[in-house]
């Protein structure tokens, strides 16, 4: 059963899959990693974006990636509004149980999104059509699906763009500053809440492309977000909160791990990989592999 070729296949596919995981985790890396928002609803937002892409593709024949770009501005506005509500009701009021309620709030939102999708689209899986879906690239015995290559390329570009945005632009640096010391920013006359709101908007806007990739890589169903809670949080925590390149590396580790386990033990063990990795990282090295905190 076991062979070197099979392992090589698994690793190559794992790296591609990992880049895709990075793309779906980038938003969370900003929202949770940099802004400390307990954004459990991130995967639900992701699935919601996928369904929007599905609608644009199915009924208007728009290419999924283009559709992802089209919904990005709306997601940005949605993100701005979501952060405003979160800030007004939890961060501003404070109190000993603000944290508890913040988590419960996002959990509730995730559940509402799930059910609304079920009521609208039913529980069946949905997929998109595009010229690059369903075909594969053959190198020798290896067969690499084009959809994974597309995901790989787009995810790479997205990661680089976001990393550049956070390190080179004024707003990006402001976001990293607010993550480091909110009070210092306030003392210098900047409004940290405005910056955080903007950052949360960006984090949500990224989901347009992420959601497109999600539905390109595999069909989506309404409760898919539950599996991605583990994957996205695993990647973000393993990366060390808020590092974009760390996110990419952590996602590749997860992708390779999942792919190898899938090859060796079968698909029924796959859901546990990300969560087991996450538990391990939390227990052994809570600050992550590239952590900014000691």
User: Which residues here bind another protein, judged by CB under 8 A?
Assistant: 32, 38, 40, 85, 89, 93, 95-97, 99-101, 103-105, 107-109, 111-112, 114-116, 118-119, 226, 229-230, 233, 237, 268-269, 271-272, 275-276, 278-279, 282-283, 286
Identity of the residue, 149 or 292, whose beta carbon is nearer to another protein in the bound complex: 292
Shortest spacing between CB 87 and another protein, in angstroms? 12
Identity of the residue, 188 or 283, whose beta carbon is nearer to another protein in the bound complex: 283
Shortest spacing between CB 119 and another protein, in angstroms? 6
Shortest spacing between CB 252 and another protein, in angstroms? 20
Give yes or no for a contact between 238 and 288, defined as CB atoms under 8 angstroms apart. Answer: yes
Total Cβ atoms within 10 A of residue 254 = 26
Q: Write the DSSP assignment of the chain as a string of letters.
A: ---HHHHHHHHHHHHHHHHHHHHHHHHHIIIIIIT----TTHHHHHHHHHHHHHHHHHHH---HHHHHHHHHHHHHHHHHHHHHHHIIIIITT--TTHHHHHHHHHHHHHHHHHHHHHHHH-SS-B----TTSS-EEEETTEEEEHHHHHHHHHHHHHHHHHHHHHHHSHHHHHHHHHHH-HHHHHHTT--HHHHHHHHHHHHHHTHHHHHHHHHHHS-B-TTHHHHHHHHHHHHHHHH-TT-HHHHHHHHHHHHHHHHHHHHHH-GGGHHHHHHHHHHHHHHH-TT-TT-S--
The sign of the dihedral angle between the CA atoms of 85, 89, 93, 97 is negative
* In the block, residue with structure tokens 């792919």: 259
Identity of the residue, 213 or 277, whose beta carbon is nearer to another protein in the bound complex: 277
Identity of the residue, 107 or 146, whose beta carbon is nearer to another protein in the bound complex: 107
Shortest spacing between CB 113 and another protein, in angstroms? 9
Shortest spacing between CB 277 and another protein, in angstroms? 9
Identity of the residue, 55 or 116, whose beta carbon is nearer to another protein in the bound complex: 116
Identity of the residue, 5 or 88, whose beta carbon is nearer to another protein in the bound complex: 88
Identity of the residue, 173 or 285, whose beta carbon is nearer to another protein in the bound complex: 285
Shortest spacing between CB 40 and another protein, in angstroms? 7
* In the block, residue with structure tokens 């306030």: 186
Residues 227, 253: Cα–Cα separation, whole Å:
17
Shortest spacing between CB 122 and another protein, in angstroms? 10
Shortest spacing between CB 98 and another protein, in angstroms? 8
Identity of the residue, 85 or 142, whose beta carbon is nearer to another protein in the bound complex: 85
């Amino acid at each position: 059963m076991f062979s070197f070729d099979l392992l090589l296949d698994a690793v190559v596919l794992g790296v591609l899959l990992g880049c895709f995981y990075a793309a779906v985790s980038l938003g969370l890396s900003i929202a949770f990693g940099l802004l400390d928002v307990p954004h459990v609803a991130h995967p639900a937002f992701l699935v919601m974006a996928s369904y929007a892409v599905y609608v644009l593709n199915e009924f208007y024949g728009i290419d999924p990636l283009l559709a992802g770009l089209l919904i990005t501005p709306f997601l940005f506005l949605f993100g701005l509004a979501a952060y405003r509500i979160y800030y007004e009701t939890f961060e501003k009021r404070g109190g000993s149980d603000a944290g508890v309620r913040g988590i419960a709030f996002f959990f509730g939102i995730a559940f509402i999104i799930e059910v609304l999708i079920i009521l609208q689209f039913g529980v069946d899986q949905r997929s998109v059509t595009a010229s690059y879906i369903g075909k594969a690239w053959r190198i020798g015995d290896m067969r690499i699906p084009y959809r994974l290559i597309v995901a790989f390329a787009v995810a790479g570009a997205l990661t680089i763009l976001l990393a550049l945005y956070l390190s080179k632009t004024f707003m990006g640096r402001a976001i990293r500053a607010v993550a480091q010391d909110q009070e210092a920013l306030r003392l210098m006359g900047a409004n940290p809440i405005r910056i955080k709101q903007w950052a949360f908007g960006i984090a949500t806007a990224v989901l347009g492309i992420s959601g497109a990739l999600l539905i390109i890589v595999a069909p989506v169903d309404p409760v898919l977000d539950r599996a991605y809670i583990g994957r996205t949080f695993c990647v973000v925590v393993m990366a060390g909160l808020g590092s974009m390149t760390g996110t990419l590396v952590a996602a590749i580790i997860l992708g390779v791990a999942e792919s190898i386990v899938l090859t060796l033990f079968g698909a029924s063990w796959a859901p546990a990989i990300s969560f087991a990795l996450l538990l391990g990282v939390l227990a052994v090295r809570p600050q992550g592999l590239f952590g900014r905190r000691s």
